[in-house]
Amino acid sequence: MQKYARVTASLITDLLRRRSRQSSRLLSSTHILDHPSSSSSSSLMSSSSTHPLSVATINDKVLKCEYAVRGEIVTLAQILYCNIGNPQSLGQQPITFFREVLALCDHPAILDRSETQGLFSTDAIARAWQILDQIPGRATGAYSHSQGIKGLRDTIAAGIEERDGYPADPNDIFLTDGASPAVHMMMQLLIRSEGDGILCPIPQYPLYSASIALHGGTLVPYYLDEATGWGLETSELKKQLEAAKSKGINVRALVVINPGNPTGQVLAEDNQRQIVEFCKQEGLVLLADEVYQENIYVPDKKFHSFKKISRSMGYGNEDIALVSFQSVSKGYYGECGKRGGYMEVTGFSPEIREQIYKVASVNLCSNISGQILASLVMNPPKVGDESFESYSAEKDGILSSLARRAKALEDALNSLEGVKCNKAEGAMYLFPRIYLPAKAIKAAEAVNTSPDTFYCRRLLNATGIVVVPGSGFGQVPGTWHFRCTILPQEDKIPAIVSRLTEFHKQFMEEFRD
Amino acid sequence: MQKYARVTASLITDLLRRRSRQSSRLLSSTHILDHPSSSSSSSLMSSSSTHPLSVATINDKVLKCEYAVRGEIVTLAQILYCNIGNPQSLGQQPITFFREVLALCDHPAILDRSETQGLFSTDAIARAWQILDQIPGRATGAYSHSQGIKGLRDTIAAGIEERDGYPADPNDIFLTDGASPAVHMMMQLLIRSEGDGILCPIPQYPLYSASIALHGGTLVPYYLDEATGWGLETSELKKQLEAAKSKGINVRALVVINPGNPTGQVLAEDNQRQIVEFCKQEGLVLLADEVYQENIYVPDKKFHSFKKISRSMGYGNEDIALVSFQSVSKGYYGECGKRGGYMEVTGFSPEIREQIYKVASVNLCSNISGQILASLVMNPPKVGDESFESYSAEKDGILSSLARRAKALEDALNSLEGVKCNKAEGAMYLFPRIYLPAKAIKAAEAVNTSPDTFYCRRLLNATGIVVVPGSGFGQVPGTWHFRCTILPQEDKIPAIVSRLTEFHKQFMEEFRD
């Protein structure tokens, strides 16, 4: 079924990187025509190997950038993808109401046709009309305002208000093609040179390291505390901030991912208050990755946006600069392919806002289907709407199944010798620690790879299960982990558990000291 | 109807820029808390004006970037938008077949329902099935391969082959959210510092200047020759290249926009051969903006892709590095809001291709609806398909109407005193030269603005017609122009012509020397 299979584990990236380093070495001992500006010998260029570019002459920020969760494509039979947060690729079905509205907005000509009444729910039809009326000329094929269609931003702001209990301003919303472009936009704004630092959690989602590298800044790491369920200690933030300052780094912002990726923890309210206080005291922009806000699997934790927390502390726009990233790719909807999302930007001066607006303008606008979907996830069907019951059943079905899958995988991992896995409170991942025998570590060294990559590669070869080695996210030196999504459909989980268990036993047997 | 109106002319940008310069001046004479890394006085930060960022401390590449065709939003009644290439915002209807397929791919659950047969054409249903079968798991909600869905790239490559008569490789196609992100990606790759230059036409579409500024490079201008219908002389290219080299600039690429934006010319085949030869000789990457390839309005001109031209000269991958940008936003389809497009990347070494792939991966993938649409525009209904007749009627209706509008506006402009307008052979714009009286130039100076901006602002105030001053695109110093789209619906053209004519007469009367 998955003929066209993709493996994006960093073990593959790793292989490629080594290969590419080898080829650079080869290249550097070869005669390469230098860039022509220095040559009047342009007639030489008619020889048959005149690539105007070489890896030595492209932007080295591009070379430095790494992206662990995606890599080269490999085609392998019987693969079980546990590497990417891409739910629908593993069989999760889209929410019907959302897709009905998107289809109707894509082809409004059918809205007046009688057959449409039989095919679509009445509230989807009503919602499509409502959205079309918010678009000037009902033109879903037109560029929108650079921040996104105003009516949709109104809807999103209302959804944020309902979620947080504090006001939200549609003018603070920038609709984007998923959360990634929004993160790039902020990094572009904040980073002037290597002297500018961004505090990032370790482990982190590699979008952050990649974006910081592309924009030429410095990643200032802070470690999450695995022993306390990936806790975020402000003492650690303070320590790393001071260390960076002492090296002359101008730290500009703090990235917090909540719920955590790859770590799956949900921050406690009190901890969030400390983080807000820290940013306020240190004058740091708080970049809050809140794309997993709907993915909470434990009854004792609840999602609180950093905006809600800061407002509840009495801090307003004058006190803290805060960006909240949201995406349609995660949650129970998991609409990765639609590339929808937004950032809510508060606490910036009008001059800076104008600059953010300008950068948004250079890409004209984000895609309208993604914009519509972002408004839908922030304003889903309500009690009394025709779709409410089926919508709720779909949503609850997905979320409760994810919770069961998280628990099953967590239990399975914790039952393995030398594996310790924190609870997946939220998001879509488990990040177990693997205590590898010295003999396995030596075997990895012998093939010139990191021990976690060695483990993951063996796992892939033996079982077809793809996970991402911890090295791609960062980890405390000398510790080893991997990231495993909880996304395979529930009927696949027992096979994953038994294959993984069997593999792990044999691995530990093979390398027992 | 257009309650929520946007004016994006650079005259507005201009106003804002002046305002923002004023505020920076104000700011720089005020005490600004420097970035906290240098301050142990973080308790000071609890005062009420602690924006952690100021315009003085953000990335100055962001500040330097300008984008003439978009600006601030203003709400004005009775506005006639002739400023942006955004056809559907002005009433152009989408192509039915394309929207049918998109709607069906958005909500595949209805494909098997009997009502669907009555609502959608049979070939749209068949095409939707075909596309769904190209998507692993039929998951339109999943992230795709970073370059785009393989089956869609196959379709696009086949469409390019049919267009050019030369082979195209699906692995050379990178699907993107419109052409803009593709341009950014290439600039990111090519530009390392201010020492790297990109040859760009003047006048140019400001995406290029904005992207070069954002990535910190140097725009090396070459002038299009207005006297020869915006001809592109290789002697001018050579001259500007040498001048740049003598200043120590390492020129890396040549941007060519064909058909031209804002100039509307279509390059002659022979001219294109000279350009290819020039790039080959000088070892420059040829960045070919070919987004208006379907917009040709004169019988004696035809679109030829630069890839076709270079292949017809016997040049292959080893001879020239070439990037062709295409978009779903232009052509007869004008689907700006869908943000679809691709770049075809040929003649780069495998190492560089790997780097381009990596950069594409950092944003995961472009939106799937845009990807589908890109495949549709490169493979529209064929003779014998149920939709072929209606599709052709829609397409021909739009293109012949655009040709009539171009001619009507061109004639009207050329009938004005002191206005000279080259033929709109293609694209969506006219770029008339206005010979302004000395008194008008003085009046502009008196209000501290450029003469073309002065003219455009007066035009807007007097008539509600929004055009973009030539300064936003660049022009030979001392000459003045504006860009006017040919996109208002045909029934609006007489009103535009008469309002413009009346305004122009009064303007010339008022400022007659």
What confidence category does residue A71 fall into, taking pLDDT thresholds of 50, 70 and 90? Answer: very low
Report the 10 Å Cβ neighbour count for B117: 11
Residue A322 belongs to some domain of the structure: yes
Which of B10, B17, B43, B62 should be substituted to probe chain A, the one whose Cβ sees the most A Cβ atoms within 10 Å?
A: B62
Strand partners, B176: B341
Q: What is the pLDDT of residue A306?
A: 98
> What is the phi/psi pair of residue A169, to 5°?
-110, 120
Strands (DSSP E) found in A141-183: 173-176
Confidence of residue A165 (pLDDT cuts 50, 70, 90): very high
For residue A116, the distance in angstroms to the closest alpha carbon of chain B comes to 8
- Do A361 and A429 lie in one domain? The reply is no
Could you tell me if residue B116 is inside a domain?
no
pLDDT digits (tens, 9 = 90+) for A364-373: 899 999 999 9
Contact state of A107 with B109 under an 8 Å Cβ cutoff = no
What one-letter code names the amino acid at B97? F
3 state DSSP class of B16:
helix
Helix (H, G, I), strand (E, B) or coil at B454: helix
Rounded CA Rg of chain A: 24
Per-chain mean pLDDT for chain B = 87
* pLDDT 10s digits, A212-269: 999 999 999 999 999 999 999 999 999 999 999 999 999 999 999 999 999 999 999 9
Q: Could you tell me if B138 and B284 lie in one domain?
A: yes
Q: Is residue B452 part of a domain?
A: yes
- Choose from B185, B339, B373, B492 for mutation: most chain A CBs within 10 A: B339
Q: Does residue B46 register a pLDDT over 80?
A: no
A39 vs A121, more confident = A121
pLDDT score of A83: 87
The residue among A288, A262, A279 whose CA lies nearest residue A164 is A288
Indicate whether B13 pLDDT > 60.
Answer: no
B158 lies in some domain: yes
Q: What is the pLDDT of residue A440?
A: 96
User: pLDDT tier at A67 (50, 70, 90 boundaries)?
Assistant: low
Q: Give the mean pLDDT of A468-487.
A: 94
Q: Which of residues 472-491 of A touch B (CB under 8 A)?
A: none
Which chain A residues contact residue B62 at CB under 8 A? 188-189, 355, 358-359
User: Are B370 and B501 part of one and the same domain?
Assistant: no
Cβ-Cβ contacts under 8 Å for A7 (sequence gap 6 or more): A71, A72, A73, A74, A76, A79, A81, A83, A460, A466
* Residues A194 and A321 placed together within one structural domain of the fold: yes
Question: Which residues in chain A have their CB less than 8 angstroms from residue B364's CB?
Answer: 70, 178, 180, 336, 339
pLDDT at B63 over 90: no
Q: Kindly tell me if the per-residue pLDDT of B127 is higher than 80.
A: yes
Q: Is B32 on the interface with A (CB under 8 A)?
A: no
Averaged pLDDT score across all residues of chain A? 87
User: Looking at residues B347-354, what average pLDDT do you find?
Assistant: 92
Cβ distance of A336 and B143 shorter than 8 Å: yes
Q: Give Cα separations from A78 to A4, A144, A490 (angstroms).
A: 12, 43, 17
Min Cα distance A248 → chain B (Å) is 8
Residue A48 has pLDDT above 70, yes or no: no
Instruction: Please indicate, yes or no, whether residues B272 and B348 belong to a single structural domain of this protein.
Output: yes
Q: Which chain A positions have a beta carbon within 8 Å of B339's beta carbon? A: 177, 364-368
- Residues of A whose CB is below 8 A from B35: 250, 252, 283
Determine the residue of chain B that is closest to A207 in CA distance: B362
- Say whether B304 sits in a helix, a strand or coil: coil
Region B345-366: mean pLDDT is: 91
Q: CA of B451 to nearest chain A CA: how many angstroms apart?
A: 24
Query: Residue B97 domain-assigned?
Result: no
Q: What is the pLDDT of residues B484-499, one digit of tens each?
A: 999 999 999 999 999 9
Residue A1: is its pLDDT beyond 60? no
Give me the pLDDT at residue A70, please.
Answer: 53
Asked whether residue A22 carries a pLDDT value surpassing 50, the answer given is no
Q: Strand pairing of A173-176 and A341-346? A: antiparallel
Burial bucket for residue A354 (CB in 10 Å: 0-12, 13-18, 19+): middle
Evaluate whether A469 touches A455 at the Cβ level (below 8 Å).
yes
CATH code at B229? 3.40.640.10
Residue with tokens 């940013």: A279
Is residue B87 one of the residues assigned to a domain? no
pLDDT of residue B54: 79
CB contact under 8 A, B352 and A89: no
Residue B187 has pLDDT above 50, yes or no: yes
Q: Would A73 be classed as within a structural domain? A: yes
Q: Quickly state the pLDDT bin for B70 (edges 50, 70, 90).
A: low
Query: Are A367 and B365 an interchain contact pair (Cβ–Cβ within 8 Å)?
Result: no
Identify the pLDDT of residue A191: 94
pLDDT for position B362: 84
Answer whether residue A96 is part of any domain: no
Q: Which of B149, B99, B90, B92 is nearest to B121 (CA)?
A: B99
Residue pair B253/B198 in contact by the 8 Å Cβ criterion: yes
User: For residue A424, which of A414, A436, A435, A439 has the smallest C-alpha distance?
Assistant: A414
Of B100, B113, B337, the CB nearest to A141: B337
- Boundary of a domain, candidates B319, B352, B377: B377
Interval B371-385: pLDDT, tens: 999 999 999 999 999
Task: Give the C-alpha distances (Å, rounded to integers) separating B414 from A266, A300, B39, B421, B432.
Answer: 67, 74, 63, 6, 8
On chain B, the residues whose CB falls within 8 A of the CB of A58 are 189-190, 192, 352, 355
Mean pLDDT, to the nearest integer, of B276-285?
97
- Does B321 lie in the same domain as B348? yes
Instruction: Find the domain containing A220 and state its range.
Output: 148-377
Classify A178 as helix, strand or coil.
coil
Task: Judge if A34 and A174 occupy the same domain.
Answer: no
Model pLDDT, residue A486 = 95
pLDDT higher than 60, residue A18: no
Mark whether B420 and B488 lie in a shared domain.
yes
The band of A39, judged by pLDDT with boundaries at 50, 70 and 90, is very low
Window 213-272 of B, Cβ < 8 Å to A? 214-215, 244-245, 249-252
| pLDDT confidence of residue A78 | 62
pLDDT at B84: 87
Does the CA dihedral B268-B270-B271-B273 come out positive or negative?
Answer: positive
**C-alpha of A498 from chain center:** 29
User: Could you read off the pLDDT of A326-342 as tens digits, one per residue?
Assistant: 999 999 999 999 999 99
Please answer yes or no on whether B46 and A139 come within 8 Å at the CB atom: no
pLDDT top residue among B305 and A47: B305
Find the distance separating the first CA and the last CA of chain A, reported in whole Å.
41
State the pLDDT confidence band at A46, using cuts at 50, 70 and 90.
Answer: very low
Same domain, A458 and A372: no
Instruction: Say whether both A182 and A291 belong to one domain.
Output: yes
Confidence check on the interface: ipTM exceeds 0.95, yes or no: no
* pLDDT class of A72 with cuts at 50, 70, 90: very low
Task: With beta carbons under 8 A apart, name residues in chain B contacting A86.
Answer: 142-143
Contact A339 B6 (CB under 8 A): no
CB pairs under 8 A between A and B: 393
pLDDT bracket for residue B68 (50, 70, 90): low
Question: Are residues A110 and B103, on separate chains, in Cβ contact within 8 Å?
Answer: yes
Within this chain, do residues B496 and B350 fall inside the same structural domain, yes or no?
Answer: no
Do A331 and A232 fall into the same domain?
yes
Residue B55 has what pLDDT? 77
Which of the four pLDDT bands, split at 50, 70 and 90, describes residue B77?
very low
pLDDT band at B300 (very low <50, low <70, confident <90, very high): very high
pLDDT of residue B82: 86
Quote the crossing angle between the two packed helices B451-463 and B438-446, to the nearest 10°. 90
Report yes or no: A337 at the B interface, CB cutoff 8 Å: yes
Domain count, chain B: 3
Task: Give yes or no for residue B27 having a pLDDT over 80.
Answer: no
pLDDT band at A189 (very low <50, low <70, confident <90, very high): very high
Least confident window among B80-84, B135-139, B417-421:
B80-84
CB contact under 8 A, B144 and A252: no
- Output the CA torsion sign for B410, B415, B418, B420: positive
Q: Do B99 and A86 touch (CB under 8 A)?
A: no
For residue B48, the chain A residue with the least C-alpha distance is A318
A91 neighbors A334 (Cβ within 8 angstroms): no
Task: Place B78 in a pLDDT band, splitting at 50, 70 and 90.
Answer: low
pLDDT band at B513 (very low <50, low <70, confident <90, very high): confident
